[in-house]
């Protein structure tokens, strides 16, 4: 009877979370590179290049692919013949492994977990607890899948109890455009169909961990209804033209997974879960012979790409005026240099509350740009850890009071803005730019200095001032209110209607 030692299990969990923080699964890299080669939209191609370059840098530097190092998820299948050499619960063992991984001294990961989701929202400090799912199965082994899921893509999870006669294809094709780019495409969509509501969500999450293999399915042809659905959705979702980062293009999804479970005659529960540009999961098996060994991938699997900066306009943030930004057009590629403030959800809330109380702000925002980011802590010679953009729409409700009362002229984040933010941007002649979600380590290399400016108690959400040099961004909403996330997908959807869709 195999005996699983406590320390072997904990260390295997810790090693796996470290591993996935800097190594993309190789199947994701291959699929993304193939999509990059096929891509005809210059903006989407550039975004994919940044994700691929970032991925190689993360793999080489053993630093996180994305600043959001995720909520830790573990799926564990325990063989019923296995005995455990521990007095702790399986959940406690997973949490100890997560704690060890996220507080690693060489590669600390961001602690994003909050103890009280509807209270003060105070971080637990070590990214615990994980979300652990356990299944007892016949056998002599323990099979583990760990995943780190970013908030941007988790927040776009969808569930519905459809009528038995409803079309799942129609449901998906109506939903995906409403998800925008907050989930950082290109990635995967995973559907769970059947069971009860929680079962549908669970099988969708589990199915997301399967390798990307739509190319093989296309080559051999569908044999089941689920496989037919995968092929149909892959083609039709890509034909929506959303593209990498929602900029418009041929590839929105690199695969579509479908998992099914029997269900009640009156029901058709369906879950739709996206996996983002920071697709991160690892699989290992313990048989009692010691901790798992996760072999590093070969860097030969990563393409060698360089950023094409020839068509980008250089911008000096320190001398920038409203007159200058008024000349920018949605879709312009820019390289920002100079002083760039940071701030995201908690900092914005605090600034707006202070303004409402008539208090003096701790930072002068006039003629400045603010970057929505919550970086990973730096190590060794780093100025800052991976510092990619966070979802901007969460800050939409703060845009009007901040632009109206502080003189801020620009924002940098990721994905689209909602109508209230766009109206304010237009009204105040400001601009909104995007950096590429999932290219956090690459972006951090453009940051040459960082100093704390306000609210240090907010941790990664504090306001800092970065010194940036040639930070690549795209003007996503110009001062006239033109938005690239509206025009790009519309243009590419129309074009895909006339050209072959992204084929596997
Ligand atoms: S790639 Fe985008 S959605 Fe995924 S973890 Fe990073 S910021 Fe979040």
For 425-445, the pLDDT digits (tens) are 999 999 999 999 999 999 999
Gap between the Cα atoms of 468 and 323, Å rounded: 22
pLDDT the model gives residue 310: 87
Q: Which of 478, 364, 372, 358 is nearest to 428 (CA)?
A: 478
CA of 111 relative to ligand 1 center, distance in Å:
15
Contact between 145 and 202 under an 8 Å Cβ cutoff? The reply is no
Question: What's the whole-number mean pLDDT along residues 352-365?
Answer: 97
Nearest CA to ligand 1 atom 1: 438
Question: What's the whole-number mean pLDDT along residues 6-17?
Answer: 98
Give the position, in ligand 1's atom list, of the atom nearest the Cα of 389. 7
Quick check: 407 pLDDT over 80? yes
Question: Which DSSP symbol is given to 313?
Answer: E
Q: How confident is the model at residue 286 (pLDDT cuts 50, 70, 90)?
A: very high
pLDDT the model gives residue 125: 94
pLDDT the model gives residue 454: 97
Q: How confident is the model at residue 499 (pLDDT cuts 50, 70, 90)?
A: low
Gap between the Cα atoms of 21 and 337, Å rounded: 28
Quick check: 502 pLDDT over 60? no
Annotated active-site residue 133? The verdict is no
If one residue of 151, 179, 276 were mutated to test the ligand 1 pocket, choosing by the most ligand atoms within 8 A of its CB, it would be 276
Q: Which of 24, 281, 348, 485 is catalytic?
A: 348
Tokens of 136: 């007892």
Gap between the Cα atoms of 57 and 414, Å rounded: 21
Give the position, in ligand 1's atom list, of the atom nearest the Cα of 276. 4
Question: What's the whole-number mean pLDDT along residues 460-473?
Answer: 96
Helices 6-22 and 42-61: crossing angle in degrees, nearest 10, is: 140
Tokens of 295: 């072999």
pLDDT the model gives residue 246: 97
pLDDT the model gives residue 501: 53
Quick check: 382 pLDDT over 60? yes
pLDDT digits (tens, 9 = 90+) for 79-109: 999 999 999 999 999 999 999 999 999 999 9
Tokens of 319: 């001398």
Give the position, in ligand 1's atom list, of the atom nearest the Cα of 391. 7
Contact between 207 and 258 under an 8 Å Cβ cutoff? The reply is yes
Gap between the Cα atoms of 374 and 110, Å rounded: 9
Give the position, in ligand 1's atom list, of the atom nearest the Cα of 69. 5
Nearest CA to ligand 1 atom 3: 152
Question: What's the whole-number mean pLDDT along residues 69-75?
Answer: 98
Q: Report the percent of the chain where pLDDT is more than 90.
A: 96
Q: How confident is the model at residue 225 (pLDDT cuts 50, 70, 90)?
A: very high
pLDDT the model gives residue 188: 97
Query: How high does pLDDT run on average in the chain?
Result: 96
CA of 87 relative to ligand 1 center, distance in Å:
36
Gap between the Cα atoms of 196 and 270, Å rounded: 9
pLDDT the model gives residue 500: 58
Strand 333-342, strand 463-477: pairing = antiparallel
CA of 149 relative to ligand 1 center, distance in Å:
8
What residues line ligand 1, using a CB cutoff of 6 Å? Answer: 66, 68, 150-153, 183-184, 276-278, 388, 437-438
If one residue of 71, 183, 277, 345 were mutated to test the ligand 1 pocket, choosing by the most ligand atoms within 8 A of its CB, it would be 277
Q: How confident is the model at residue 129 (pLDDT cuts 50, 70, 90)?
A: very high
Gap between the Cα atoms of 10 and 108, Å rounded: 17
CA of 333 relative to ligand 1 center, distance in Å:
21
Give the list of residues 6+ apart from residue 87 with CB closer than 8 angstroms, or none: none
Handedness of CA 345, 347, 349, 352 (dihedral sign): negative
pLDDT the model gives residue 409: 98
Highest mean pLDDT among 116-125, 180-189, 493-502: 180-189
Question: What's the whole-number mean pLDDT along residues 7-35?
Answer: 98
The runs of H, that is alpha helices, within 190-329 are 197-207, 214-220, 225-238, 322-325
Nearest CA to ligand 1 atom 7: 437
Q: Which of 360, 320, 356 is nearest to 340 (CA)?
A: 320
Tokens of 108: 């600390």
């Amino acid at each position: 009877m195999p005996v699983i030692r406590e320390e072997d299990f904990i260390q295997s969990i810790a090693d796996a979370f470290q591993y996935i923080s800097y190594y993309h699964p190789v199947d994701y890299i291959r699929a993304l590179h193939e999509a990059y080669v096929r891509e005809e939209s210059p903006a989407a191609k550039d975004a994919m290049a940044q994700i691929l370059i970032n991925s190689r840098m993360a793999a080489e530097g053993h630093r996180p692919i994305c600043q959001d190092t995720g909520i830790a998820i573990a799926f564990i299948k325990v063989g019923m013949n296995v005995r455990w050499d521990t007095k702790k619960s399986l959940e406690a063992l997973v949490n100890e492994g997560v704690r060890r991984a996220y507080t690693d001294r060489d590669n600390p990961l961001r602690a994003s977990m909050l103890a009280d989701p509807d209270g003060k929202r105070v971080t637990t400090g070590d990214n615990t607890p994980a979300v652990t799912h356990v299944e007892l199965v016949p056998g002599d082994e323990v099979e583990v899948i760990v995943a780190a899921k970013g908030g941007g893509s988790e927040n776009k999870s969808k569930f519905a109890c459809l009528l038995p006669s409803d079309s799942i294809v129609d449901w998906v094709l109506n939903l995906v455009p409403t998800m925008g780019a907050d989930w950082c495409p290109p990635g995967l969509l995973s559907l769970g169909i059947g069971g009860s509501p929680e079962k549908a969500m669970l099988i969708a999450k589990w199915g997301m961990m399967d390798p990307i293999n739509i190319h093989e399915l296309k080559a051999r042809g569908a044999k089941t209804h689920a496989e037919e659905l995968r092929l149909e959705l892959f083609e039709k979702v890509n034909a929506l033209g959303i593209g990498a980062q929602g900029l418009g293009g041929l590839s929105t999804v690199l695969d579509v997974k479908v998992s099914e479970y029997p269900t009640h005659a009156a029901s058709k529960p369906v879950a739709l879960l996206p996996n983002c540009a920071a697709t991160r999961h690892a699989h290992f098996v313990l048989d009692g012979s010691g901790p798992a060994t996760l072999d590093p991938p070969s860097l030969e699997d990563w393409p060698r790409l360089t950023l094409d900066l020839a068509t980008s306009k250089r911008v000096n943030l320190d001398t920038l005026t409203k007159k200058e930004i008024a000349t920018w057009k949605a879709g312009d590629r820019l390289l920002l240099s100079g002083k760039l403030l940071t701030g995201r959800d908690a900092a914005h809330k605090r600034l707006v509350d202070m303004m409402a109380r008539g208090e003096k702000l701790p930072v002068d925002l006039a003629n400045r740009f603010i970057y929505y980011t919550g970086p990973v802590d730096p190590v060794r010679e780093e100025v800052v850890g991976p510092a990619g953009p966070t979802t901007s729409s969460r800050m939409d409700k703060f845009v009007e009071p901040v632009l109206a009362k502080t003189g801020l002229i620009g924002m940098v984040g990721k994905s689209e803005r909602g109508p209230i933010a766009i109206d304010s941007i237009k009204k105040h002649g400001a601009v909104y730019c995007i950096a590429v979600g999932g290219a956090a380590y690459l972006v951090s290399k453009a940051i040459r200095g960082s100093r704390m400016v306000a609210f240090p108690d907010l941790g990664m959400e504090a306001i800092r001032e970065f010194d940036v040099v040639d930070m690549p961004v795209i003007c996503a909403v110009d001062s006239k209110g033109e938005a690239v996330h509206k025009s790009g997908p519309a243009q590419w959807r129309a074009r895909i209607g006339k050209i072959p869709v992204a084929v596997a």
